[in-house]
Amino acid sequence: MEKNLKDFKAILESRIKGASRIFIVPHLNIDLDAIGSASGMAEICSCFKKETFIIVDDAPSNMNVGVRNIFDASAERYQMISSVELEKYRQEDDILITVDVSKKDLIPSKVEVSLSSFSKILVLDHHKSDEHSIESADSHIDIETSSTCEMITRLMKLFGISIDKWLAKALLAGIFLDTNKLKKNTDEKTLEIAARLIRRGATIQDVNDLFVEDFENDRKVQHLIDGAEFVPYHIHNVAVIYNHEHPDTLYTQAELAEAADYLLPYKVDAAYAIGVIGPDQIGISARTTGGMKIVDVMHVFGGGGNEHSAAAKILETSDVFLIREQLLKLLRQEDFYFVKSTALVEEVENQQRAENSTSDAVVITPVEGILVKEKKFLAG
């Protein structure tokens, strides 16, 4: 991984030096990893005295408290533009750098249609690429790295660029987001990077403050979590989260992700949160502790991600129940699971036998030779 990042560092330096201007694009529905890594990349470009722009189309009013905090400060440090302003600033030898995103449909549409006009495109991401990814000979995608902010911090170290206190906080916040505050997808190198950022002035308290939501938002997410179903599939415990009482409730992708993250500590191998995210748009956020191939599941819905976090956006429907049924059918397929130990198999089987002998509130349905337990919800 480190050798590949060193190779990317050399390519990045060459492309920046040969560019007239540089445009940095994080994904739509920007989060802390996206805005943090975009800020870090802008800092790298500024060291080469190149005019640099960060393209963000999300309205600040739609950002959560923490993202808005970093976004506002970033806008004071770097040049922020919307995609409609792109052509106003374009020059012949401009390059485009995408951070925390590699899929065409996750960047602003006006940027997507302009992809072919850039002399060079560089992609830095930690989400798995597929046939919908941006075509680039200069990409570095490492799905084993916790976050794009971790990659950016490593790049800045390779460049010998100093990280000030504010940027250290922004980068650490991105790492905290994508590791659920260092509880998942975290290895020794991730902890070393986190420690480096703390030494540069970031504090755990400052970063945690970015995750504080208002009361209404917290209750909204908690109500979504209240609709969780827990189903053992193929000796794995899977949670499917949706608002069965008010399925038309509008959520952000970040709120769905927060709900899925919330359940991981509760002996859940994978959690999927489903909700309406816009007119005729359904979002799914998926999280796993390692027992399930959530990227493969999200690919079926046209999404993607990495081994620990994935998501999908489904267009032309707002039927949460339909998507739930489609997801439940997919979850019954053995190919989406990793093999678990014999001891755990026996433990789950014993638990199922105990539940079957004592509970009449559970329906056991044979599906393709396996037993599926589904919750019943009473009307009203």
- The verdict on 366 and 310 lying in the same domain is yes
Residue 364: inside a domain: yes
Last residue of a domain, one of 185, 210, 235: 210
pLDDT (tens place) for every residue of the chain, 380 residues total: 445 899 999 999 999 999 999 999 999 989 999 999 999 999 999 999 999 999 999 999 888 889 999 999 999 999 999 999 999 999 889 999 999 999 998 999 999 999 999 989 999 999 988 888 999 999 999 999 999 999 999 999 999 999 999 999 999 999 999 998 998 889 999 999 999 999 999 999 999 999 876 677 788 899 999 999 998 876 688 999 999 999 999 998 889 999 999 998 888 889 999 999 999 999 999 999 888 899 999 999 999 888 889 999 999 999 999 999 999 999 888 888 876 544 444 555 565 566 555 444 333 233 333 333 333 333 33
Domain that holds residue 351: 216-374
333: number of Cβ within 10 Å? 14
Residue 119: inside a domain: yes
Residue 362: inside a domain: yes
Q: CA 167, 169, 173 angle in degrees (round to 5)?
A: 120
- The verdict on 274 and 347 lying in the same domain is yes
- The verdict on 73 and 182 lying in the same domain is yes
- The verdict on 199 and 221 lying in the same domain is no
The CATH number assigned to the domain holding 296 equals 3.10.310.30
- The verdict on 67 and 134 lying in the same domain is yes
Domain count, the chain: 2
C-alpha to C-alpha distance for 175 and 171, rounded to whole angstroms: 6
- The verdict on 226 and 183 lying in the same domain is no
C-alpha to C-alpha distance for 140 and 8, rounded to whole angstroms: 6
- The verdict on 98 and 150 lying in the same domain is yes
- The verdict on 224 and 201 lying in the same domain is no
Last residue of a domain, one of 167, 188, 210: 210
Cα–Cα distances (Å) from 336 to 132, 295, 330, in that order, read 21, 9, 8
- The verdict on 333 and 361 lying in the same domain is yes
At 125, phi and psi to the nearest 5?
A: -155, 165
Residue 380: inside a domain: no
Last residue of a domain, one of 210, 227, 249: 210
